[in-house]
Structure 1
Amino acid sequence: MSFMKNLVSGTNFDPDSLNALQKVTLRAVVMSFLFYGLVAIEGMIMRMVQVGPGAPIPDMFSHPDHYFSIMTVHPIVGIFGSTYQLVFGAFMFLVPYLTKKPLYSVKLANYVWLLITVGTALAWIAAFVWQYAPLYTLYWPLPADTAQFQVTGGIVFIIGVALIMIGTLGFIYNIYATIFARVGVHKDKTTKELLISGFGIDGMLNLWHKLTGRPPYSKEPALALPVVAIFRGTVDTFLDAIVILSAGILVLVYLIFDASGNPLSVASVDALLYKNYFWWGLDLVADGLVLIYVAGSWYLLATLITGQKLFMENVARAALMLELLVSWMVWSHHLLADQGQPEMMKLVSGEMVTAFELLTQGLALFITLVTLWKARPLKMTFELKYLLGGLVGFGLAVPAAIIQADMGMNRVLHNTQWIIGAHVHIALIVGLYMTLYSAVYVLWPIVTNNTKLYSHKLSSAHFWLHLIGGIGMGAFMGMAGLDGMLRRHLYVNGEFDTWMILAAICGSMLLIAWALFLLNIIMSVGLKGLIGIFMPAKDPTASYGIDQEIEPADDPAFAQ
Structure 2
Amino acid sequence: MNSWLNPTLEKLTLRYVIVALFFLFVVGVEGCLMRVDLCNIPLHKYEEFFAMMTAHPVVGIYGWAYIAVMGAFYYLVPKLLNRNLHSVRLAMIGLVIHMLGVIVAWSACFFLHYAPLYTIYWPLPVNWNIFPPSGALTFTLGLALIEFSILLFIFNIFSTILRGSEGNGGSIKGFIIAAFNLDKIASLINRKNKFLNGGSRPPVFIVSVMRGSIDAVINALILIMAGLLILIYSIYAIIGVNLSTQLINPLIYKNVYWWGLDMVADGDVLIWTAGVLYLMAPLLANRPLYGENIVRYVILADLIISMGVWSHHLLSDTPQPALLRLISGQFITWGEYVTMGLSFFAALKTLWLARPLKMNIPLKFMLGGILGFMLGGVSGLIQANYALNVFLHNTQWVIGTHAHMMLLAGLSTLIFAVIYTLLPSLTGKELISMKLSNTHFMLWMIGSIGMSLSLGFAGIAGMLRRNLYHGITLYIPYMYAAIIFAVVMALGYLSFIINIVKTYGIRTILKILIF
Q: With the length of structure 1 as denominator, give the TM-score of the two structures.
A: 0.87
Conserved 8 A contact 2:183-2:198: no
Could you report, residue by residue, the CA deviation over 1:12-42 in whole angstroms, capped at 9, with x for unpaired residues?
xxx99x9521111111111111000110111
1:440 corresponds to = 419
Query: Which of 274, 285, 296 pairs up with 1:317?
Result: 296
Deviates more, 1:137-146 or 1:434-443: 137-146
Conserved 8 A contact 1:203-1:316: no
Per the alignment, in what secondary structure is the counterpart of residue 534 of structure 1?
helix
2:377 corresponds to = 398
Conserved 8 A contact 1:416-1:487: yes
Distance in 1 (CA, whole Å) between partners of 2:111 and 2:231 is 18
The alpha-carbon distance between structure 1 residues 64 and 199, as it changes in their structure 2 partners (threshold 3 A), is farther
Q: How far does residue 414 in structure 1 lie from its aligned partner after superposition? A: 1.2
2:214 corresponds to = 235
Q: How far does residue 205 in structure 1 lie from its aligned partner after superposition? A: 6.3
Q: 1:288-299 alignment to 2 at 5 Å?
A: 288-299=267-278
Confirm or deny that 1:48 pairs with 2:36.
yes
Structure 1 unaligned residues grouped into runs of 5+: 1-14, 54-58, 537-560
Instruction: Give the alignment's Cα RMSD to 1 decimal.
Output: 2.2
2:48 corresponds to = 66
Query: Which of 114, 125, 129 pairs up with 2:96?
Result: 114
Distance in 1 (CA, whole Å) between partners of 2:56 and 2:432 is 31
Q: How far does residue 126 in structure 1 lie from its aligned partner after superposition? A: 0.8
2:285 corresponds to = 306
Conserved 8 A contact 1:75-1:136: no
Conserved 8 A contact 2:170-2:199: no
Confirm or deny that 1:160 pairs with 2:138.
no
1:365 corresponds to = 344
Conserved 8 A contact 2:174-2:199: no
Distance in 1 (CA, whole Å) between partners of 2:7 and 2:129 is 52
Could you report, residue by residue, the CA deviation over 1:367-414 in whole angstroms, capped at 9, with x for unpaired residues?
111100000000000010001001101111111111111111000001
The alpha-carbon distance between structure 1 residues 368 and 405, as it changes in their structure 2 partners (threshold 3 A), is same
2:365 corresponds to = 386
Q: How far does residue 261 in structure 1 lie from its aligned partner after superposition? A: 2.0
The alpha-carbon distance between structure 1 residues 264 and 47, as it changes in their structure 2 partners (threshold 3 A), is same
The alpha-carbon distance between structure 1 residues 160 and 325, as it changes in their structure 2 partners (threshold 3 A), is same
What letter corresponds to residue 143 of structure 2 in structure 1? Answer: V
Confirm or deny that 1:192 pairs with 2:173.
yes
Q: How far does residue 104 in structure 1 lie from its aligned partner after superposition? A: 0.4
What letter corresponds to residue 225 of structure 1 in structure 2? Answer: V
Q: How far does residue 72 in structure 1 lie from its aligned partner after superposition? A: 0.7
Per the alignment, in what secondary structure is the counterpart of residue 164 of structure 1?
helix
What letter corresponds to residue 145 of structure 1 in structure 2? Answer: N
Q: How far does residue 220 in structure 1 lie from its aligned partner after superposition? A: 8.2
What letter corresponds to residue 273 of structure 1 in structure 2? Answer: I
Confirm or deny that 1:420 pairs with 2:392.
no
Conserved 8 A contact 2:11-2:512: yes
Q: How far does residue 143 in structure 1 lie from its aligned partner after superposition? A: 2.9
Could you report, residue by residue, the CA deviation over 1:401-439 in whole angstroms, capped at 9, with x for unpaired residues?
111111110000011000111101011101111111111
Query: Which of 391, 399, 408 pairs up with 1:429?
Result: 408
Query: Which of 424, 427, 430 pairs up with 1:452?
Result: 430
2:18 corresponds to = 30
2:182 corresponds to = 201
Q: How far does residue 140 in structure 1 lie from its aligned partner after superposition? A: 2.3
2:442 corresponds to = 464
1:534 corresponds to = 513
Q: How far does residue 443 in structure 1 lie from its aligned partner after superposition? A: 1.1
Distance in 1 (CA, whole Å) between partners of 2:19 and 2:514 is 15
Distance in 2 (CA, whole Å) between partners of 1:188 and 1:360 is 28
Per the alignment, in what secondary structure is the counterpart of residue 125 of structure 1?
helix
Confirm or deny that 1:377 pairs with 2:356.
yes
Confirm or deny that 1:87 pairs with 2:69.
yes
Q: How far does residue 150 in structure 1 lie from its aligned partner after superposition? A: 1.1
Conserved 8 A contact 1:203-1:315: no
Sequence identity percentage: 39
1:39 corresponds to = 27
Conserved 8 A contact 1:39-1:77: yes
Structure 2 unaligned residues grouped into runs of 5+: none
Deviates more, 1:136-145 or 1:419-428: 136-145
Q: How far does residue 137 in structure 1 lie from its aligned partner after superposition? A: 6.0
Conserved 8 A contact 1:204-1:314: no
Distance in 2 (CA, whole Å) between partners of 1:533 and 1:157 is 30
1:492 corresponds to = 470
What letter corresponds to residue 246 of structure 1 in structure 2? Answer: M
Conserved 8 A contact 2:309-2:328: yes
What letter corresponds to residue 452 of structure 1 in structure 2? Answer: E
Distance in 2 (CA, whole Å) between partners of 1:361 and 1:313 is 14
Query: Which of 174, 191, 195 pairs up with 2:156?
Result: 174
Distance in 2 (CA, whole Å) between partners of 1:299 and 1:414 is 33
Distance in 1 (CA, whole Å) between partners of 2:180 and 2:169 is 19
Q: How far does residue 187 in structure 1 lie from its aligned partner after superposition? A: 5.4
Query: Which of 265, 271, 281 pairs up with 1:286?
Result: 265
Could you report, residue by residue, the CA deviation over 1:524-552 in whole angstroms, capped at 9, with x for unpaired residues?
2212211221245xxxxxxxxxxxxxxxx
Distance in 2 (CA, whole Å) between partners of 1:345 and 1:250 is 26
Q: How far does residue 194 in structure 1 lie from its aligned partner after superposition? A: 1.7
Per the alignment, in what secondary structure is the counterpart of residue 132 of structure 1?
coil
Conserved 8 A contact 1:422-1:478: yes
Conserved 8 A contact 1:204-1:317: no
What letter corresponds to residue 293 of structure 2 in structure 1? Answer: N
Q: How far does residue 145 in structure 1 lie from its aligned partner after superposition? A: 3.1
Conserved 8 A contact 1:198-1:232: no
Conserved 8 A contact 1:132-1:153: yes
Distance in 2 (CA, whole Å) between partners of 1:75 and 1:142 is 19
What letter corresponds to residue 92 of structure 1 in structure 2? Answer: Y
What letter corresponds to residue 29 of structure 1 in structure 2? Answer: V
Distance in 1 (CA, whole Å) between partners of 2:508 and 2:197 is 45
Conserved 8 A contact 1:182-1:189: no
Conserved 8 A contact 2:208-2:274: yes
Distance in 1 (CA, whole Å) between partners of 2:26 and 2:288 is 39
Confirm or deny that 1:522 pairs with 2:504.
no
Q: Kindly tell me the number of residue pairs found equivalent between the two proteins.
A: 508
1:546 corresponds to = none
1:540 corresponds to = none
What letter corresponds to residue 27 of structure 2 in structure 1? Answer: V
Confirm or deny that 1:482 pairs with 2:460.
yes
Q: How far does residue 219 in structure 1 lie from its aligned partner after superposition? A: 11
Conserved 8 A contact 2:169-2:198: no
Per the alignment, in what secondary structure is the counterpart of residue 335 of structure 2?
helix
What letter corresponds to residue 409 of structure 2 in structure 1? Answer: V
What letter corresponds to residue 100 of structure 1 in structure 2? Answer: N
Distance in 1 (CA, whole Å) between partners of 2:301 and 2:186 is 13
Distance in 1 (CA, whole Å) between partners of 2:347 and 2:198 is 21
What letter corresponds to residue 164 of structure 1 in structure 2? Answer: I
Q: How far does residue 440 in structure 1 lie from its aligned partner after superposition? A: 0.9
Q: With the length of structure 2 as denominator, give the TM-score of the two structures.
A: 0.94
Distance in 2 (CA, whole Å) between partners of 1:137 and 1:391 is 33
The alpha-carbon distance between structure 1 residues 352 and 171, as it changes in their structure 2 partners (threshold 3 A), is same
Q: How far does residue 202 in structure 1 lie from its aligned partner after superposition? A: 5.3
Conserved 8 A contact 1:401-1:423: yes
The alpha-carbon distance between structure 1 residues 202 and 292, as it changes in their structure 2 partners (threshold 3 A), is farther
Conserved 8 A contact 2:396-2:463: yes
Deviates more, 1:408-417 or 1:132-141: 132-141
The alpha-carbon distance between structure 1 residues 514 and 40, as it changes in their structure 2 partners (threshold 3 A), is same
Distance in 2 (CA, whole Å) between partners of 1:136 and 1:186 is 48
